[in-house]
Structure 1
Amino acid sequence: MAFACQRSGQLLLRRASGSLLRGACARAMSPPHCFALELPGCTLAHFAFGGDAAAGPDDGARGDARGDPRLAALLEPPGRRYSLWVPVAPGASCAARVRAAKLHQHLLHQLRRRGPLQRCQLRRLLCYSPEGDVQHGVLLHDPRDSPDTRSALLALLDECQEVPSPRLGEFVGDPSHRVWQHLWELRDGQGWHLADGQRVLPAPEPALHPVVPDLSSSAVFPDREAARAVLEACTSFIPEAQAVLDLVDQCPEQIQKGRFPVIVIEGLDATGKTTVTQSVSDSLKAVLLKSPPACIGQWREIFDDEPTIIRRAFYSLGNYIVASEIAKESTKSPVIIDRYWHSTATYAIATEVSGGIQHLPPAHHSIYQWPRDLLKPDLVLLLTLSPEERLQRLKGRGMEKTREETELETNSVFRQKVELSYRRMENPDCHVVDASPAKEKVLQTVLSIIQNNCT
C-alpha cells in the first residue's frame, strides 16, 4: 500500500513538474493546418481547421458530415475517433526529427499491444501545413466508444516525457452535423482537460502529396552528409550506427569511376536478379558487388526495425560504401551491382507516400534524380515480371520473406508504386528488361543491351 501511494505521489509530482513545460510547448506549437487521412481504396481525405478560408471552392456551403464524405469518415457510427500525432517544430534539427520518428514508432507499438487499444482500428494520418512541415500520426477508431480507450490513451501520454509530447484529439459532432476536434491538454496541477473545439472543414487536395516536400529530409537523402547526420543522431541508442559511420568516413568524398563499365541490375524480389547478376558477371568476367555491402549487411536486421528516417539513412550510406568499392574495382574490370541507389529511393518513396499511385511525385520530379555526390553507373537495368509470375516464383523459393517481400506480396498498390517509381528514375533512368523468358534468353537480352550502351 505504501509503495502504491509512493508511485501515485511520484506520478502527480511528475505531472505537475512537467505540465508547465509541456503546456507552454503545446501552446507555442499550434496544431498543423491540414490533415490527410488514408481511406479504404487508397484514397486520401484532406481536411483542415478554421473558418471558410480552409474550404475549397467546391466544398459546399454547409461543411458538415452530411454534405461531405471526408467529414463523414470522422463521425460515421459506430464509435468514436481519436487523432494522435507527434509534433515536430518547423525547421527542426535532424536529432529532433529522429526523436519524433522514434516516438511515433513507440506509440504505434503501444497502440497495437495494449488491451483496450488493440480493439481500435488504425489509419495513417498525416498532419501538415502549406509550408511543407509534416507530422506523422494515426487516426484511431474505437467502435465501442469505451471510456477505457480514452483512459489508455491518456495513460500513454503520461508515459511520454519527450518535449514536445504527442498530441491527442477527439472528433465530435454537434446537432448541426458539423465536425469539431477537441485537443487534450495537461493543465497545471489539474491533470488532463479537453480544450475548446476547433471546427473541421474539408480541404482541397494539394498539388503534391503532403509528404513529398519532406522526402529529401526523411527518406530519400540528396547527399551523403544528409544521411550521415541522421546516423550521427542515433549513436547514443544504436551502437552499430557509429560502426557504419566509421566505415563511411574511410571512403573518400571525391571518387571517380575507372575506365571499365559499371552496370546496376535492379528489380523486385523473385524477378531473377541474383541469377542474372551472377550470369552477367561470369560472362563479362566482371566483379559482382551488392548494396548494402557485406561489411554492413550484418546489421540489416537492426536497422530494418528502426523508423523510416533511420532505416533509409543506413541504406543510403551503404550506397556510398559500395561506391568506394566500385571506384576501385572499375579500374581493373567491369563491375556488376546487385541493387544500388534506385532501390533505396523507390522503396522509400512507395512506403512514405500514402494513398495510390496517383499520389506519387509526378514524372521528372527532383526526387527521382540521382544524388549529386554518389558515383553514377553507366547503365541501370530493371528486370520486370507480371505479378502472377513473380508470386509463382516466390512460392518456389522456399526462403524466409523480408518485410518488403511480404508487403509486395500482399499489397498490390505498394508493388505498383515501387514499379512506377523505378520507371520514373532519371539520370540515369532504367532500361526495362522482360524477365519472364527462360534465363538464357534473359541473359542474351541483357548482354545485348550492355553491348549497345557501354561500348
Structure 2
Amino acid sequence: MARRAMSLLPRWSSRVFLVDLDGAPLYFGIQEEHWEEKAPRVFRQFQKQDKYYSLLVCSRDRIKGAKFYAELKDKLLRDLPSGCDLTTICSFLPNVRDSLIKGYFLKSNTENSPQIERLLSQLEQHDPVLVCSYSEGEDEQWTQHLWSRAESKATASAKQYYLVSSDVPSYHPSTLNIINSDVFYSFDEAYDVLKKCSDIIPEAMSVLEKLPSRVKARRKPDFPVIVIEGLDATGKTTLTESLRDTLGATLLRSPPQCLSPWRACFDQEPPLIRRAFYALGNYITAEQISQEGMKTPVIVDRFWHSTAAYAIATAVSGPLCNLPSEGSEVYRWPSDLFQPSLVVLLTVDPEERKRRLRGRGQGETDEEQELDHNQLFRLRVEEAYRRISGPACVTVDASPSADLVLQQVLLLIRGKCHL
C-alpha cells in the first residue's frame, strides 16, 4: 500500500466520506465495531446484486496527485466496462484543514466485477490510490473493505469497517483544502506550485520568468487605483474604457496580456496548477499598477476578487449555505498583494446578461458555460464576490445605459478617491 495511504490508516475510522450521487451529497462514516446501526441512506438504495468500489488519490506530492486525479477519470472512463457508473467521492477529517482526499466511486453489475477488480488491482499496485470495496451482509449492514497492496482483490482478509450514518458538516468539506490550493494568499505559495511543476509543464518556467522581483517592497502609487469586477457581459469593458478616457487614467487588465500565450495551456491543468497560474497573474498586474500609478490614476479590469470568487464557487458545490461563512479566512485579501483604492462590482439581471452574451456571438469559457447552465454556480460566484474583504466590493447595478452607469461610478470614485 502506498506510504500516503498507510499514513492515513491510524485515523481512518475517524474519517467521513461524501459521495456525490446524482448531484445529491450523501455522507457516511465508518467504525471498526458492529453496533447494529442502520446503514447510511446512500447505501439503502443500492442493490445487493451490484458491486461498489471507491478509489481515493493519496499522493504525498500534491502536484503529481492533482495531475493523477484528473488523468484517473479519463483512464476509468476509457477502461471501465460499459454499464459501470462513475461519480466522485471524497474523505476528510471533520474541521481538520488540508485533510480532504478526493477520488471516484464506482457501481457495477456482478458480471463486470472481475474485469473491474483486475483494473483496480493494477491501479492499487502501481499508483497513489487507496481502493475500497463495499458489500452488504446478511443483517443488511454494509461494510467497507480496505484493500492492501498484498491483495489482488478484496477478500475476507482485507481490513473491514462497518458503515454508519454521519452528520452533515457545517460547510462543504472542500473548504478544508481551499487555502493555497484553490485560492492563493501569497506570492510564495503560488510561485512554489509553478516552480514544482516546471519539470512536467515546460510552460511554467516561461511564466516564472515574467514574474516581478520580490527583493524590495513596492511604493504605494501616488494616484488612486480603481478595480472593476463582475461576470462577463456586465459591461466591464465599456465602463473601464470610459473611465480611462474620462479620468485620463491607465487601463490594465488581469490576467495581464503577457500571460496570454500560456492561458490555454494552464486552463487545461488541474485546479491547483491553474489557480496558481492566475494568482501569479495578479502579482504581475500589481507590479504594473505600482509603476503606472506613479503617473496617472489606474483602472483595472478584474483583479484578485475574480480569481478568488471563481475558485471558491468552483471548489464548493451545492447551495449558498455550503460556502464558508462571512468573515472566514477564505475571503481575506492576500497580505502581500497591493490593495486598490476602490473595487466596483457590476451586476445585471441574469436574463439580461445572457442576452448580452448572445449578442456578442463569441465562444464561452468553461466557467462561462457553467454560469449559464448552473444557477447555483452563478449565485456562489456572486456571493463570494460580496464576501471578500480588504477591500470589499461596492455593488453597482449595470442594467441602465452605459452613460448612467459611468456617472454612478464616477460619483463613487470622486467620493472615495477624491478625483
TM-score (ref. length: structure 1): 0.84
Aligned 8 A contact 2:63 2:272 in 1:
yes
Deviations 1:265-292 (A, max 9, x none): 1111111111111111111111111111
Aligned residues: 411
Partner residue of 1:126? 90
**Counterpart AA for 1:333:** T
What one-letter code is carried by the residue in structure 2 that aligns with 1:141? Answer: K
Higher deviation after alignment, 241-250 or 285-294? 241-250
- Aligned residue for 2:67? 102
Pair 1:242-2:205 in alignment: yes
- The match for 2:257 is 294
Task: State the secondary structure of the residue aligned to 2:185.
Answer: coil
Structure 2 runs not aligned, ≥5 long: none
- Residues 255 and 158 (structure 1), Cα distance of their counterparts in 2 relative to 1, 3 Å cut: same
* CA apart distance, 1:25: 6.0
Q: Secondary structure at the match of 1:414?
A: helix
Q: Distance in 1 between matches of 2:141 and 2:396?
A: 53
Q: Distance in 1 between matches of 2:414 and 2:88?
A: 46
Aligned partner (choices 4, 9, 17) of residue 35 of structure 1:
17
1:140 and 2:106 are equivalent in the alignment: yes
Conservation of the 8 A alpha-carbon contact between 2:121 and 2:153? no
Q: Which structure 1 residue ranges, 5 or more long, are not aligned?
A: 1-21, 54-60
Contact 2:91 2:100 in 1 (8 A): yes
The reply to whether residue 86 of structure 1 matches residue 57 of structure 2 is yes
CA distance in 1, matches of 2:275, 2:362: 24
Note if 1:178 corresponds to 2:141.
Answer: yes
| Alpha-carbon distance in structure 2 between the residues aligned to 1:225 and 1:320 | 11
Task: State the one-letter code of the partner of 2:58.
Answer: P
2:37 pairs with one of 63, 72, 78: 63
Tell me, what secondary structure is at the counterpart of 1:185?
coil
Tell me, in whole angstroms, the C-alpha distance in 2 between the residues paired with 1:82 and 1:351: 26
- 1:160: Cα distance to partner? 7.2
Normalised by the length of structure 2, the TM-score is 0.91
SS at match of 1:451: helix
How is 1:9-28 mapped onto 2 (pairs within 5 angstroms)? Answer: 22=1, 26-28=5-7
Cα drift, residue 244 of structure 1: 1.4
Q: CA deviation at 1:69?
A: 2.5
The Cα shift of 1:47 comes to 1.2
Check whether the contact 1:171–1:179 (CA below 8 A) recurs between aligned residues: yes
Residue from 277, 280, 290 that aligns with 1:317: 280
The answer on whether the counterparts of 1:186 and 1:192 sit within 8 Å (CA) in structure 2 is no
**Is 1:48 aligned to 2:29, yes or no?**
yes
Is the Cα–Cα contact under 8 Å of residues 157 and 166 in structure 1 kept in the other structure? Answer: no
Offset at 1:39? 4.0
CA distance in 2, matches of 1:217, 1:266: 22
The 2-side partners of 1:266 and 1:300 are apart by 20
SS at match of 2:227: strand
CA drift of 1:342 comes to 0.6
Superposition deviation, residue 377 in structure 1: 0.4
The answer (yes or no) to whether the contact 1:263–1:377 under 8 Å persists in 2 is yes
